[in-house]
């Protein structure tokens, strides 16, 4: 079955175990960490595969590793991301036709000991220090959850971590890290860090010409099925067109422009925020320089490609079929890096 996938590349900048103040790792790399992850999850139930708890107010979802498969030197990691539920383990929904004074809610309850959520996929090419999110019908790619998951796995559950049970047996203390069982335990810290892959010259040109920017353009795709998007869009329609947003299409494209010349610091902040949130908040930001518009999306390596995949069910894609199809289309997909 062929389905369209949206692919976004990240550059893996760090992955390993480091001495404080050092830039080079003492041991550990992308391939060894992923191999270690695959071994760790092999005999655990899903709930045992969690590596972190979400703190109150933290903008993360708890995630679990569904699968970690290797094909050749590459890896495909499938994640399960937990979504918020009510106290009775139900997911709330609101009718898209709800009015301000008469909202209509429904609740889908799930059996006990189940984890409502959605799947996300990560294609990792260790020899090039590349990671790609592979997104199908969901709006989120789960990247923040994945980065948190890997960092916490490396810190607490990898084979490099040396632990000792507390007297009450309720938790393990991290004593340090070592590459082999016979090595001396070292006081190190684990680190996994990546950033959106940047095409050479695109961001640099915008940054170097911040004083020549005369206009900022933002493009956004809003969905009337999302409450925040629908309310924002309704306010715009009330002011401009005096129309009811509920009669709009499911997705509405919005574009607005501001005549403004940002300072270098403001521009850096815009670029940083876009890099962090462009998959979920803003579709694109453009800067008008000397009559030409330069879009931030053109600086990242992304692609849309039809992949021949097999689904295990309506939500989960078979990991082996996905990595096989990615590799079969690799030459075409890698052209987005140029």
Count how many domains the chain has.
2
Q: Looking at the domain assignment, is residue 100 inside a domain?
A: no
3-class SS of residue 158: coil
* CB neighbours of residue 214 within 10 Å: 12
Residues 6 and 147 occupy one common structural domain: yes
Residues 166 and 185 occupy one common structural domain: yes
Q: Looking at the domain assignment, is residue 94 inside a domain?
A: no
User: Which of 139-153, 275-289, 308-322 is least confident?
Assistant: 275-289
Q: Looking at the domain assignment, is residue 68 inside a domain?
A: yes
Please give the pLDDT value at position 237.
Answer: 43
Residues 178 and 212 occupy one common structural domain: no
Q: Looking at the domain assignment, is residue 104 inside a domain?
A: no
Q: Which band of pLDDT confidence, cut at 50, 70 and 90, is reported for residue 218?
A: confident
Domain span at residue 287?
202-299
Q: Looking at the domain assignment, is residue 223 inside a domain?
A: yes
Mean pLDDT within 117-146: 95
The two tokens of residue 152 are: 């916490």
Mean pLDDT within 49-68: 92
Residues 132 and 35 occupy one common structural domain: yes
Residues 139 and 231 occupy one common structural domain: no
| Contacts (Cβ under 8 Å, ≥6 apart) of 50 | 62, 63, 64
The two tokens of residue 54 are: 């979400």
Q: Identify the residue whose tokens are 């911040």.
A: 210
43-47, 256-260, 269-273, range with greatest mean pLDDT: 43-47
- Measured distance CA(260)–CA(287) in Å, rounded: 10
Q: Which residues of 152-185 are buried (b: 16+ CB within 10 A; e: fewer)?
A: bbbbebbbbbbeeeeeeeeeeeeeebbeeeeeee
Residues 291 and 323 occupy one common structural domain: no
Residues 30 and 129 occupy one common structural domain: yes
pLDDT in tens, 316-332: 999 999 999 999 999 99
Conformation bin of residue 291: beta by default, left when phi > 0, alpha when psi is -120 to 50: left
Task: Using alpha carbons only, give the angle 9, 28, 195 rounded to the nearest 5 degrees.
Answer: 25
Q: Looking at the domain assignment, is residue 18 inside a domain?
A: yes
Residues 276 and 174 occupy one common structural domain: no
Residues 142 and 279 occupy one common structural domain: no
What's the pTM value of the predicted model, to 2 decimals? 0.80
Mean pLDDT within 46-60: 91
Residues 315 and 293 occupy one common structural domain: no
Mean pLDDT within 300-309: 90
Residues 61 and 206 occupy one common structural domain: no
Residues 184 and 219 occupy one common structural domain: no
Q: Looking at the domain assignment, is residue 14 inside a domain?
A: yes
């Amino acid at each position: 079955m062929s389905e369209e996938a949206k692919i976004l590349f990240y550059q893996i900048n760090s992955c390993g175990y480091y001495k404080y103040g050092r830039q080079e790792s003492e041991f550990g790399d992308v391939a060894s960490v992923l191999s270690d992850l695959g071994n760790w999850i092999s005999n655990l139930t899903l709930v045992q595969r969690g590596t972190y708890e979400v703190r109150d107010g933290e903008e993360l979802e708890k995630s679990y590793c569904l699968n970690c498969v290797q094909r050749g030197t590459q890896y495909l990691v499938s994640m399960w991301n937990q979504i918020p539920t009510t106290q009775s383990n139900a997911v709330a929904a609101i009718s898209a036709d709800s009015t301000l004074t008469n909202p209509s809610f429904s609740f889908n309850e799930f059996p006990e000991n189940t984890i409502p959520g959605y799947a996300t996929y990560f294609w990792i090419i260790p020899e090039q220090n590349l990671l790609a999110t592979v997104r199908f019908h969901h709006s989120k790619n789960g990247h923040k959850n994945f980065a948190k998951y890997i960092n916490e796995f490396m810190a607490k559950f990898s084979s490099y971590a040396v632990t000792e049970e507390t007297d009450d047996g309720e938790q393990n203390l991290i004593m340090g890290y070592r590459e082999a069982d016979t090595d001396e335990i070292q006081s190190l810290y684990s680190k996994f860090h990546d950033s959106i892959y940047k095409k050479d010259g695109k961001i640099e040109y915008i940054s170097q010409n911040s004083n020549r920017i005369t206009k900022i353009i933002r493009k956004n795709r809003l969905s009337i099925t999302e409450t925040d998007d629908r309310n924002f869009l309704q306010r715009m329609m009330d002011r401009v067109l005096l129309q009811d947003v509920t009669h709009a299409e499911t997705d509405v494209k919005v574009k607005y422009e501001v005549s403004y010349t940002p300072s270098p610091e403001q521009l850096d902040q815009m670029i940083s925020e876009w890099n962090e949130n462009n998959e979920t908040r803003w579709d694109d930001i453009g800067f008008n320089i000397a009559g030409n518009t330069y879009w931030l999306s053109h600086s990242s390596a992304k692609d849309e490609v039809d992949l021949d995949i097999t689904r295990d069910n309506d939500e989960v894609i078979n990991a082996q079929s996905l990595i096989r199809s990615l590799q079969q289309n690799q030459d075409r997909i890698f052209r987005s890096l140029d």
